[in-house]
Structure 1
Amino acid sequence: MRITSKGQVTIPQWVREKYGLMPHTDVEFIESDGTVTITPAETPSKPDRAELLLSRLRGSAERSLTTNEIMQLTRAYDDD
């Protein structure tokens, strides 16, 4: 792996998938004992893509279901 002239590096796909580093994920760099660790930021600076999609969908259901109705639908798929 090589750092570009702009200080960028490509994180391998398997690492991104394993650790949930999706596009636009805020990360932190933690230095300890001569090692640098990259980790998802505790508090994102702005909403990530999943949060934006969920906020767009929130309240868009055509009808409201009770918790029991949702559980019955979920159990119906388990029987297949």
Structure 2
Amino acid sequence: MALRTGATTGDIRIDTLTHVVREAAANSGSVTDSTWNAARQTGWSDEHLTEAFAFLGADDVHGILPHFGLKAEVNARIAVRQT
């Protein structure tokens, strides 16, 4: 819920990661240096933050594909990778 609303979770690490993801989602994947550095200062590594961007990108693509009639094919591939 905090990711959607921007509300605090009470956990500074989660809140900074949430801020990075929300900012990236609102700005075509871009975040300010201060946002990135704040997340790094609370313990998130570049690898963690990159993974968050990957999930954001995958979610964006997954949300667009049904408009091209590709939902069933994509869901099947995701299901195969998860097993």
Q: Scaled by the length of structure 1, what TM-score is found?
A: 0.27
Q: TM-score, normalised by structure 2?
A: 0.26
User: Which has the higher relative contact order, 1 or 2, with Cα contacts under 8 A spaced 6 or more apart?
Assistant: 2
Which structure: greater helix fraction? 2
Larger radius of gyration: 1
